[in-house]
Amino acid sequence: MNITNLTLVETIKALEEKQFSLEELNRVYLERIKKHNSELNVYLTINESSNGLPAAIKDTIITKGIKTTAASKILENFIPPYDATVISKLHEQGVSALGKTNHDEFAMGGSGENSAFGPTKNPWDKTKVPGGSSSGSAAAVAADLAVFALGSDTGGSIRQPASLTGIVGLKPSYGRVSRYGLIAMASSFDQIGPMTKSVEDAALVLDWISGSDGYDSNCSSDKFTLQPLRLQAGIKGLRVGVPKEYFGEGLDVKVKEVVETAIKKLEDLGAEIVEISLPHSQYALAAYYIIVPSEVSSNMARYTGIRYGTGRENLGKEVMRRIMLGTFSLSSGYYDAYFTKAAKVRTLIKRDFDGVFKKCDVIVGPVSPTTAWNLGEKINDPLTMYLQDIYTISANLAGIPGLSVPAGFVEGLPVGLQILGKQFDEETVLKVGFAYEQATQWRKEKPKL
């Protein structure tokens, strides 16, 4: 049996059946990490004493006693004195951190290349990026270097790398999962979510980490509970919206074909396809890159090097860029023209979704306009890099859930299908993802390392 090939649900079953022990499970994963980590640069810290269900944790998530760097030189040696709420919740389920994964510094980036500790490589092609910002968590799951991973998603940082590495990634609704202990990038956007080998695994991890938390005022008491029968109920008669704005200029023709084939598959499974329009989508990117840097500029102010960490000269270029953009947008004389206006656009985008969800139950489309690109290809062109987020950021602006499921390949590189749902309706999103996953075999494809 290939232990590291198993999904989380399969691993739990095998442990229950005593096919192997937790010690063996951890040993096998640690051995595999030792073999492949240096070529892929997935883990920044490896926890040799992991003894539970071994999970890869993005290094923006605070772990008590385990170095947490935010992939930045400014926190290079920071060992937190407390655990994030999601970590405490996972401990209760017998999960342990196998290691802390690489990502773009402070989660700012879409390729993984902004890490202060070097880029992560895409397991499908080591000359390509794995996407970002949750690059290491995506690569860890794709390369079977963890049973599952946690990532965080502010504008697509779970879904886009999931798409580019052929795994399942779920950004939950804003407020579904506690953010206490997530190193903040943009507080009104950030969500922690599962990155897994199957849709059912994603549902199970969401069940574990969601629910109220007395340490996060914006966290809902509405806990997600995995109900396998409802997950497996099928999608006959379900209305699937396809927004015309997500298939226009900029979308790679071959990626488009893969997504259209996936939509056809949903129709074959009994879904009703509805053409819809999200007219304010064209302003989403502009609004996002005003509000997010504004919050970033304030959230980054605590890193002074006075009480912990090193000096601000150690921050990377992209982090500096966003601090500057946000400081400008919030400045007296510019605030109304930038921040206030962007906040109004955000409201319009939310209304677009509210209107559309009267006509359909989920929205589907591409996750990323292209497949994984070459390392270094876009690193000096921030605007092109920002455009890679075009299909994912709206979900963060509106606070709705979004899932990426493997939907095929273009020239050997994975392509994901994005499924968006109403706020707090992860169940329907996962049900569609599950039906699609069962009807296709994409998730069983593995990269050759």
Q: Under the rule (CB under 8 A), what is the footprint of other proteins?
A: 61-62, 68, 70, 75, 78, 80-82, 84, 179-184, 186-188, 214-218, 294-295, 297-298, 300-304, 306-308, 327, 330-332, 335, 339
**For residue 124, what are the CA distances in angstroms to 352, 409, 410, 412?**
37, 11, 12, 8
How far, in Å, CA of 157 to CA of 135, rounded?
8
CA atoms in the 13 A half-sphere facing the CB of 45: 23
**Among 50, 58, 256, 431, the one annotated catalytic:** 58
How far, in Å, CA of 205 to CA of 430, rounded?
12
Give the tokens for residue 118.
Answer: 């070097």
**Burial level of 394, CB count in 10 A (0-12/13-18/19+)?**
buried
53-58: strand order across its sheet: 43-46, 95-101, 53-58, 148-153, 191-196, 168-171, 402-410, 413-421, 362-366, 239-243, 272-276
Output 25 or 300, the one with its CB closest to other proteins. 300
Is 157 among the residues known to form the active site?
yes
Output 295 or 361, the one with its CB closest to other proteins. 295
How far, in Å, CA of 105 to CA of 127, rounded?
20
Kindly state the smallest distance separating residue 315's Cβ from other proteins, in Å: 14
Kindly state the smallest distance separating residue 104's Cβ from other proteins, in Å: 16
Q: Count Cβ atoms below 10 Å from residue 282 Cβ, excluding itself.
A: 11
**Among 72, 111, 115, 133, the one annotated catalytic:** 133
Output 298 or 370, the one with its CB closest to other proteins. 298
Output 309 or 447, the one with its CB closest to other proteins. 309
Kindly state the smallest distance separating residue 366's Cβ from other proteins, in Å: 29
Give the tokens for residue 411.
Answer: 């020239």
Kindly state the smallest distance separating residue 183's Cβ from other proteins, in Å: 5
The crossing angle, in degrees rounded to 10, of helices 22-40 and 8-16 is: 150
Kindly state the smallest distance separating residue 70's Cβ from other proteins, in Å: 7
**Among 50, 72, 152, 157, the one annotated catalytic:** 157
DSSP-assigned letter for residue 103? -
Backbone phi, then psi, for 402, in 5-degree steps?
-145, 140
CA atoms in the 13 A half-sphere facing the CB of 154: 28
Q: Which helix (H) or strand (E) holds 108?
A: none
Output 38 or 304, the one with its CB closest to other proteins. 304
Kindly state the smallest distance separating residue 242's Cβ from other proteins, in Å: 32
Output 152 or 394, the one with its CB closest to other proteins. 152
Is 58 among the residues known to form the active site?
yes
Output 298 or 438, the one with its CB closest to other proteins. 298
Kindly state the smallest distance separating residue 186's Cβ from other proteins, in Å: 8
> 372, 76, 415: which is closest to 263 by C-alpha?
415
State the catalytic residues: 58, 133, 157
